[in-house]
A and B are shown apart, each in its own frame.
Chain A
Amino acid sequence: MRKLALVFLVAAGATLLALFVGRLAPSSSSASSHREAPLISEDPTADNTDLYAFRSPDKPNTLTIVSNWIPGEDPAAGPNYYTFSQTAKYNIFVDRNGDGRPDLTYSFRFKTPTGPYFLGNTVQNWTATLNGKPWASGKTPMDNIGPRQQALAKVRNYETSAEATIVHENGVAIFAGQRDDPFFADVGAIFDLVAIRKPGTTGNKGGGRDFLSGYNVHTIALQIPISQVDTPSHTIGVWSSTDRQDVVVNGVVHKGWTQVSRLGEPLVNEVVIPTGLKDLWNRTSPANDAQFEKYYETPILAAVLNKLYKVGAPTTNRSDLVAVLGTGIPKVTYTGKTFADELRINLAIPPAAHPNRMGVLAGDNAGFPNGRRLGDDVVDIEEQAVAGFLMGHKVPLGDGVNGNDVPYLTHFPYVAPPHQGYANSKATTA
């Protein structure tokens, strides 16, 4: 009898083993009465999309900073039109001494006056502080929805009325509102495992599709006299962020601010930081970026490029990337040994008479990665940099999209006017 019991035990054990390895059969179901709040991670109105910093070509004694939010604004989307979030804080920071901490903080808050929704009320009042003290205020232009709406608002020329909202405060020109998305990239090809469209096997000869063509963004642009930001070494770092209010269930209604998004160098969050750490990255300030340095030293993208195209990119000890993206190019944009994700710019280098979209890699020192102009092709530049350009290993990679779908303005705010909803143009071939 004991033997039987033992055998039974073994059988039970084997069964249990098989069980733990098994799974419940799937079944269909429908949303039910327990409360199912969404668990999405998109927060478009807080999402930093791009940051630019360059000496203004038409006013070389000023620095222009352009910061964009809200990716992929479909001009024809309605009845909910895009506006800045009224409960978020939008910040632009300037670090003048290379310690990773801001020395100048420009913070913006927006409020939509109550009004009829169906007219798409997109004019917002904004107030700005500088280092915490009240600084400036103004209005955004309305979103570019269509001629009828403009007629209702008695607007004859959209761009004229938009630029009329530019505020000047203490020598600084300020613009906030909807603009064309100046970024250009063949995002579809990049989705497809860094596939690069023909012609040309490594794609920097055009033939790509600008996926952001036809979309708008929301912009805050500042044109600051260089004298207000300059330093003895003439190198400064710039970054941008968004904060949302922190609240608790049982306690004070408004506890404080938490950073939910930030941006310094382009594409770092997308390319360098692993997915599992993105949340952490988004709420970290540049002063604490040393924890991410190892992901720059061993960039995953280099391994991917090697696997796909056998370009022979060095995959370890990438101190060149650490420098370019984290501390500054030696003798050009170096701000100090603190590793921090900031867009660094050397204010002593004058704007180029004939800008080259490949920036420093093509010998144009007024372009990315020295600051970033609207027309700099950061996708191509970063792909080539990761492939080893700065270590002398030059591979002509690219996504095949070399410019924006519409030309930029030659004056502040430089970013092109937003596409009109009525005309509804989107994602055409570059």
Chain B
Amino acid sequence: MPNKLLIGLAVLLAAGFAAFLGGVFVEPPAQAPSALAASQSAEDFKAGFALDASTARLVESLQATLEANPKDEQSWALLGLAYQQRARETGDPSYYTKSGGALDRALRLDPSDSLVYSGLGSLALSRHRFALALKLGRQAHALSPTIARNYGVIGDAEIELGRYRSAFRDFDTMTRLQPSLSAYARVSYGRELIGHTAAAITAMKLALDAATDTAEPAAWTRVQLGKLYFNHGRYRAAEREFLLANETFPNYAYALDALATTEAALGRLRRAVGYERRAVDLIPLPQYVATLGDLYRVAGRPLLARRQYALIGAIERLLRANGVRVDLEIAQFDVDHGLRLTHALALARIGQRQRPSIDGDDVLAWALTRNGRCGAALHYSQLALRLGTQDAVKFFHRGMIDRCLGRHAAGRAWFRRALALNPRFSLLWAPVARRYAA
């Protein structure tokens, strides 16, 4: 036998050995077709009986089913999705790991179940792996083109990747196929992005009405509606929605954080700090911790503020070690607080590459501005505002760019626009805008 062939064989042998070592073999589906059909049928029964809207109970019943029959692919898929919903409800990230495990099991049992790919897609979205989420969403869609959920996964990924026209089309299709809370909320977001505020509020109210009897999604929808109000300076209306959200789903970090910002806007700093502390205790997301730090700073407690800022560094390291991409969030924090500006610019570039949405563009623009590169910043700011979004923060950044480039009149106009839209758009920067707008 020629040398080459022997070597090739040896290499393949080694590769096999390595693959075994690395555990990358995929187990073949272990089920016989009829057993699959049996579990499918059980699933069909289950799907019809949405007895108890409580996710915790659904999780329990699925766990019991799987203990008895570990090869029930449909149950693994449903469990994977249920775990994701539990993660939203409890904030406990170990549910995401479990969700991934359950969906992987389902995938091994049946590599052609659209629902599994869809679930893996939404998991990828949670980890900010938007390109992967898009791929998985498309796979799910290819397997089952008539399911509305897949359009949601695809559309969400497209939004974060800056492909807005495609995303809006997908949201439209999603609504056409199955109008529901998920679809309405996404249409509302689309309308918000193109600056149609009243229409966005209408759509979010439709979502809210379709949310009855589902606690966390209803609370989430209320918070979104409240944020729509907040972003347009309607603080009392916003507060009402956030309080109702907290009634619907007590101890909801998302609502508590929103309440904190609103209380601060209404001038009630101590209450704001109380709410934000509760949010941070529940789920220490970087943006919550940053807000708490800023609240402390504005309230005149610099030592406590510094502690929160230090915590963000720790959280960033941990999230990164866990494979969650947070470059954009960290860049935004650093730039806002004037920390390690050069490093923050590098992070912003990376973040914008991973997330070429208008938010990514805006963070990069701001980072460039704070590093004195206002010419380059202008380009990204224009990108960030290209949809016509009514966003005071983006207006403010643009004002700073114009001011930096010497276009003071234009800058002042942008500052005034920002303040007219939302007078308290930022704890740190709204006062600056007010100063420069005069």
Which of A247-255, A344-352, A355-363, A390-398 binds B? A247-255
Q: B residues within 8 A CB of A336?
A: none
In the assembled complex, how far is the CB of residue A315 from the closest CB belonging to chain B, in whole angstroms?
A: 10
Which residues in window 102-136 of B have CB below 8 A to A? Answer: 104, 114-115, 118, 122, 125-128
In the assembled complex, how far is the CB of residue A418 from the closest CB belonging to chain B, in whole angstroms?
A: 15
Question: B148 at the A/B interface (Cβ < 8 Å)?
Answer: yes
Q: A residues within 8 A CB of B48?
A: 267, 269-271
19 contacts between A and B (CB under 8 A): A10-B11, A10-B12, A30-B126, A33-B285, A38-B216, A40-B181, A40-B182, A43-B181, A72-B51, A72-B53, A80-B218, A190-B45, A192-B42, A194-B45, A247-B203, A272-B44, A274-B44, A276-B144, A279-B146
Q: B residues within 8 A CB of A101?
A: none
Output the residue of A215, A247, A249, A253 with the most chain B CB within 10 A.
Answer: A249
* In contact, A34 and B322 (Cβ under 8 angstroms): no
In the assembled complex, how far is the CB of residue A231 from the closest CB belonging to chain B, in whole angstroms?
A: 31
Question: B326 at the A/B interface (Cβ < 8 Å)?
Answer: yes
Which residues in window 250-276 of A have CB below 8 A to B? Answer: 250, 253, 258, 260, 267, 269-276
- Complex Cα distance, B385 from A328, in Å, reads 60
* In contact, A271 and B41 (Cβ under 8 angstroms): yes
In the assembled complex, how far is the CB of residue A377 from the closest CB belonging to chain B, in whole angstroms?
A: 16
**If the complex has contacts A29-B324, A86-B209, A187-B51, are A41 and B8 also in contact, measured as CB distance less than 8 A?**
no
**If the complex has contacts A10-B8, A71-B51, are A30 and B217 also in contact, measured as CB distance less than 8 A?**
no
* In contact, A38 and B220 (Cβ under 8 angstroms): yes
B-side residues, CB < 8 A to A, are 3-4, 7-8, 11-12, 14-15, 18-19, 22, 24-26, 34-35, 37-53, 61, 65, 68-69, 74, 85, 87-88, 91, 93-94, 96-97, 100-101, 104, 114-115, 118, 122, 125-128, 143-144, 146-149, 152-153, 156, 159-160, 168, 171-172, 175-182, 184-187, 189-191, 194, 196, 199, 202-203, 205-206, 209-210, 212-218, 220, 224, 244, 247-248, 283, 285-287, 319, 322-324, 326, 328-329, 355, 359
Q: B residues within 8 A CB of A307?
A: 34-35, 38
Question: A79 at the A/B interface (Cβ < 8 Å)?
Answer: yes
- Complex Cα distance, B104 from A25, in Å, reads 11
* In contact, A29 and B156 (Cβ under 8 angstroms): no
Kindly supply a per-residue 1/0 record for chain A positions 38-68, scoring 1 wherever the CB is within 8 Å of any chain B CB and 0 otherwise: 1111111111000000000000000000000
* In contact, A246 and B179 (Cβ under 8 angstroms): yes
* In contact, B148 and A34 (Cβ under 8 angstroms): no
* In contact, A21 and B26 (Cβ under 8 angstroms): yes
B37: which of A7, A215, A246, A304 is its contact (CB, 8 Å)? Answer: A304
* In contact, B22 and A11 (Cβ under 8 angstroms): no
In the assembled complex, how far is the CB of residue B99 from the closest CB belonging to chain A, in whole angstroms?
A: 9
* In contact, B319 and A29 (Cβ under 8 angstroms): yes
Question: A153 at the A/B interface (Cβ < 8 Å)?
Answer: no
Which residues in window 1-35 of A have CB below 8 A to B? Answer: 3, 6-7, 10-11, 14-15, 17-19, 21-35
Residue of A nearest to B244 (CB): A117
* In contact, B177 and A283 (Cβ under 8 angstroms): yes
In the assembled complex, how far is the CB of residue A19 from the closest CB belonging to chain B, in whole angstroms?
A: 8
Q: B residues within 8 A CB of A7?
A: 4, 7-8, 11
A14: which of B15, B175, B323 is its contact (CB, 8 Å)? Answer: B15
Residue of B nearest to A187 (CB): B49
- Complex Cα distance, B191 from A29, in Å, reads 29
* In contact, A248 and B187 (Cβ under 8 angstroms): yes
Chain A residue total in the interface (Cβ 8 A):
92
Q: A residues within 8 A CB of B191?
A: 249-250
* In contact, A82 and B91 (Cβ under 8 angstroms): no
* In contact, A31 and B34 (Cβ under 8 angstroms): no
* In contact, B25 and A21 (Cβ under 8 angstroms): yes
* In contact, A26 and B68 (Cβ under 8 angstroms): no
Which residues in window 54-97 of A have CB below 8 A to B? Answer: 70-74, 77, 79-80, 82-83, 85-88
Residue of B nearest to A118 (CB): B247
Question: A136 at the A/B interface (Cβ < 8 Å)?
Answer: no
**If the complex has contacts A21-B25, A260-B179, are A191 and B7 also in contact, measured as CB distance less than 8 A?**
no
* In contact, B34 and A18 (Cβ under 8 angstroms): no
Question: A172 at the A/B interface (Cβ < 8 Å)?
Answer: no
In the assembled complex, how far is the CB of residue A104 from the closest CB belonging to chain B, in whole angstroms?
A: 25
In the assembled complex, how far is the CB of residue B311 from the closest CB belonging to chain A, in whole angstroms?
A: 14
Q: A residues within 8 A CB of B45?
A: 187, 190-191, 194, 270-271
* In contact, A246 and B97 (Cβ under 8 angstroms): no
* In contact, B190 and A250 (Cβ under 8 angstroms): yes
Question: A411 at the A/B interface (Cβ < 8 Å)?
Answer: no
Q: A residues within 8 A CB of B175?
A: 246-248, 258
- Complex Cα distance, B91 from A39, in Å, reads 17
Q: A residues within 8 A CB of B69?
A: 193
**If the complex has contacts A28-B322, A247-B206, are A37 and B182 also in contact, measured as CB distance less than 8 A?**
yes
20 further A-B contacts with Cβ under 8 Å, apart from A10-B8, A275-B115, are A21-B24, A26-B101, A27-B323, A33-B285, A36-B125, A36-B126, A39-B153, A41-B149, A86-B209, A87-B210, A88-B210, A187-B45, A192-B65, A249-B168, A250-B194, A253-B203, A269-B48, A270-B45, A276-B114, A303-B41
